[in-house]
Copies of this chain bind each other. A is one copy, B any other.
């Protein structure tokens, strides 16, 4: 597959896969202490009494880890990942300490701008754990430049 450099190089159905990353208990508690200080993300015993049945990563920690994996993939080649927003953000299973996560992506929509030299690319990203279970999905609304026209 030729490397992606511009919006024009993307095609529907194109797939991406990230490296793996391990989430530690220390990571989970550190993120939660700063951004989501609730019992199920901070304290093992207190977490057992919640809907999660044990310590689980903040959903926003999961989201941040997924962003880091997407950046590593460089789905738009040299262009940064710039999103106007996200559709279809769903946390489907808890992320636990020592889970090994990776990200898979598929291009599901490509819409060229009618007025600017760019397009909107939708990649549906799915994060999976070491058992192949889907834990998180999201579809950023990304802006990608079009290949410059030679006149």
**Binary flags per residue of A72-91, CB closer than 8 Å to B gives 1, else 0:** 00000000111111111111
Residues of A within 8 Å of B, CB-based: how many? Answer: 33
Select the stretch in A7-15, A37-45, A107-115, A124-132 that faces chain B: A37-45
**Which residues of A in the span 57-79 have a Cβ within 8 Å of any Cβ on B?**
58-61, 63-65, 67-68, 71
**A68 and B34 in contact, given A60-B60, A84-B91, A90-B85 (Cβ under 8 angstroms):** yes
Tell me the bound Cα distance from A81 to B38 in angstroms: 8
**Residues of chain A at the chain B interface (Cβ within 8 Å):** 31, 34-40, 50-51, 58-61, 63-65, 67-68, 71, 80-91, 143
